[in-house]
Amino acid sequence: MKTLVRPAVTLFILLSIITGLIYPLFVTGISQALFPAQAAGSLIERDGKRVGSRLIGQTFTDPKYFWGRPSATGPYPNNAAASGGSNLGPSNPALKEAVQARIEALRAVDLGNTAPVPVDLVTASASGLDPHISPAAAEYQVARVARARGLAPEIVRDLVAKQTEDRQWGIFGEPRVNVLELNLALDGLRPEKRP
């Protein structure tokens, strides 16, 4: 029995050191050397203060801001420590009720908007942390944001177009708009850009 236990314990300790210490430190060091901003969390700073991450959605509720996708994380929205979707399937009545409630909430803050509500404004992503919306979801909100900020819709629409990211390498994914970056760009509009 001793002849089996000693090599097993030795191998366990050795592999724990290699896979639990050496490998993570090596990979972290390489990533920080080659991709320092991404390795640090893709953080966005404004006036020397961290305002969020480019990779994690934030909840905006003020009508003067674009709103992102709903988040299904708990115990609060966009909780990066509890990433996960709602796990409600298309045949689940709770999903239909949640989507209907979200549509009604969007319609209530933008009474004149009769356009179809884009699906990404009423359904959570698989991670619950998606920082992007589709260009259609941004377009749906242009009139509300422009009205709340006292801007011409064309100015807001132009800003959305500038903030729209193309498919990765031109082939992967869909065009998208990072909500935090769009809202920061809105806050940064110079007075001469205002009507």
pLDDT, greater one: 107 or 84: 107
Residue 64 has pLDDT above 60, yes or no: yes
pLDDT at 40: 84
Question: For residue range 183-194, what is the model confidence (pLDDT) as tens digits?
Answer: 999 998 765 444
Mean pLDDT of 40-45: 87
The reported pLDDT for the residue numbered 195 is 45
Q: Average per-residue pLDDT in the chain?
A: 91
Q: What is the pLDDT of residue 89?
A: 86
The pTM assigned to this predicted structure is 0.80
Q: Is 168 helix (H, G, I), strand (E, B) or coil?
A: strand
Cα(88)–Cα(186) distance, integer angstroms: 34
| Percentage of residues of the chain with pLDDT beyond 90 | 68
